[in-house]
């Protein structure tokens, strides 16, 4: 532990305000476990990134995020300085959000009280993160992610989820947004370039996985590992509405990869161009739009699990 102790960042409105209501109990658990920390609540979008960066400048190196995947996403982006995270920095997660997909494969309890109890005794796992270089408002933009990013259908679903009430959590808002988006979305014409190869054609989505789950429990990247130095790319090709609906249950089971219109491969870097406007999401947050380059930053983050 550094002399400054730990910095705890809480999103009080995540999971319909549940994290804020639980915070007094979580705070007591963290203190009883022996943690010395300074806590701060977020007040607006992207505030977690601002808090994390300021805390870095103040000398903090151990961080705890209390909130959902979006709050973790913001904090990680605040911890990246000039394309890298200080190797002395570590991050713990106490989940409490709409999706909480990141912790599903990391061994972190999805119960925030149990996760808080485990922070003090957690072990460090060195994991990869992904870098996205894309366009946002007509300008170059860079963003980082730990779990899953994607272009196409899933990004438009995420946009709809983010417009919904946060009182609903987990699978329900994602599934309802998925159905609503399904009947208005049109597949995109893309060109992918990776490892000297190229793929072009009409696709529903290009999903780039460092982790395995998205959309409140969809097992989109069952083969992905967050510490193998690779990104798993899942390509949902020109699926029509019926084919897509048929495959939704298979995605929850992780069996969709055998469908003839689904392709997956691993790479360290991939460039995506689209003929039509194609939005990008990362960990449920809208990032920008294509053209975009995704690359892995191997062993970039100390994650406490």
CATH of the domain at 70: 3.40.50.10330
Minimal CA–CA distance to 63: which of 23, 12, 122?
Answer: 122
Domain assignment present for residue 1? The answer is no
**Residues with Cβ within 8 Å of residue 231, at least 6 apart in sequence:** 130, 208, 209, 210, 224, 266, 267, 268, 269, 270, 294, 295, 296
Per-residue model confidence (pLDDT) at position 99: 64
Question: Whole-number mean pLDDT of the chain?
Answer: 92
Per-residue model confidence (pLDDT) at position 209: 98
Per-residue model confidence (pLDDT) at position 48: 98
pLDDT band at 156 (very low <50, low <70, confident <90, very high): confident
Q: In degrees rounded to 5, what are phi and psi of residue 259?
A: -70, 140
Which of residues 122, 140, 161 is at a domain's end?
122
State mean pLDDT over 97-107.
80
Query: What's this model's pTM, rounded to 2 decimal places?
Result: 0.92
Cβ-based burial of 147 (10 A; exposed 0-12, middle 13-18, buried ≥19): buried
pLDDT band at 43 (very low <50, low <70, confident <90, very high): very high
Per-residue model confidence (pLDDT) at position 171: 59
CATH number, domain containing residue 151: 2.60.200.40
Least confident stretch, 31-40, 84-93, 227-236, 242-251: 242-251
Domain assignment present for residue 304? The answer is no
* pLDDT over threshold 80, residue 4: no
Per-residue model confidence (pLDDT) at position 155: 87
Q: Which domain holds residue 193?
A: 129-298
Domain assignment present for residue 139? The answer is yes
Instruction: Tell me: do 282 and 144 sit in the same domain.
Output: yes
Which of residues 106, 122, 138 is at a domain's end?
122
Instruction: Tell me: do 62 and 135 sit in the same domain.
Output: no
Instruction: Tell me: do 112 and 212 sit in the same domain.
Output: no
> pLDDT tens for residues 181-200?
888 899 999 999 999 999 99
Instruction: Tell me: do 65 and 118 sit in the same domain.
Output: yes
pLDDT band at 98 (very low <50, low <70, confident <90, very high): low
CA-based R_g, the chain, Å: 19
Which of residues 82, 105, 122 is at a domain's end?
122
Tally of domains in the chain: 2
> pLDDT tens for residues 67-86?
999 999 999 999 999 999 99
* pLDDT over threshold 80, residue 151: yes
Domain assignment present for residue 143? The answer is yes
Instruction: Tell me: do 74 and 205 sit in the same domain.
Output: no
Q: What is the H or E stretch that residue 269 is in?
A: strand 269-274
State mean pLDDT over 118-138.
96
């Amino acid at each position: 532990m550094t002399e400054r102790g730990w910095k705890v960042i809480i999103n009080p409105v995540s999971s319909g305000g549940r994290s804020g209501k639980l915070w007094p109990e979580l705070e007591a658990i963290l203190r009883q476990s022996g943690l010395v920390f300074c806590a701060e609540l977020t007040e607006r979008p992207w505030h977690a990134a601002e808090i994390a960066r300021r805390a870095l400048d103040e000398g903090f190196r151990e961080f705890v995020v209390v909130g959902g995947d979006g709050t973790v996403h913001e904090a990680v982006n605040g911890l990246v300085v000039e394309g890298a995270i200080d190797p002395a920095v570590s991050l713990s997660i106490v989940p409490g959000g709409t999706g909480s997909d990141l912790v599903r494969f990391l061994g972190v309890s999805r119960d925030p009280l149990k996760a808080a109890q485990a922070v003090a005794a957690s072990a460090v796992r060195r994991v990869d993160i992904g870098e996205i270089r894309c366009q946002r408002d007509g300008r170059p933009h860079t963003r980082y992610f730990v779990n899953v990013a994607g272009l196409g259908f899933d990004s438009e679903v995420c946009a709809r989820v983010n417009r919904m009430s946060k009182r609903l959590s987990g699978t329900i808002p994602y599934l309802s947004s998925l159905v609503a988006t399904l009947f208005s979305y049109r597949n995109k014409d893309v060109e992918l370039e990776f490892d000297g190869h190229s793929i072009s054609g009409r696709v529903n989505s290009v999903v780039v996985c460092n982790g395995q789950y998205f959309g409140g429990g969809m097992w989109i990247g069952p083969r992905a590992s967050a510490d193998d130095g690779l990104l798993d790319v899942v390509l949902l090709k020109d699926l029509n509405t019926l084919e897509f609906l048929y495959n939704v249950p298979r995605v929850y089971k992780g069996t969709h990869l055998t469908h003839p219109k689904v392709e997956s491969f691993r790479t360290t870097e991939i460039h995506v161009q689209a003929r039509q406007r194609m939005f990008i999401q990362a960990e449920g947050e809208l990032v920008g739009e294509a053209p975009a380059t995704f690359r892995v930053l191997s062993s970039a983050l100390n994650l406490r699990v």
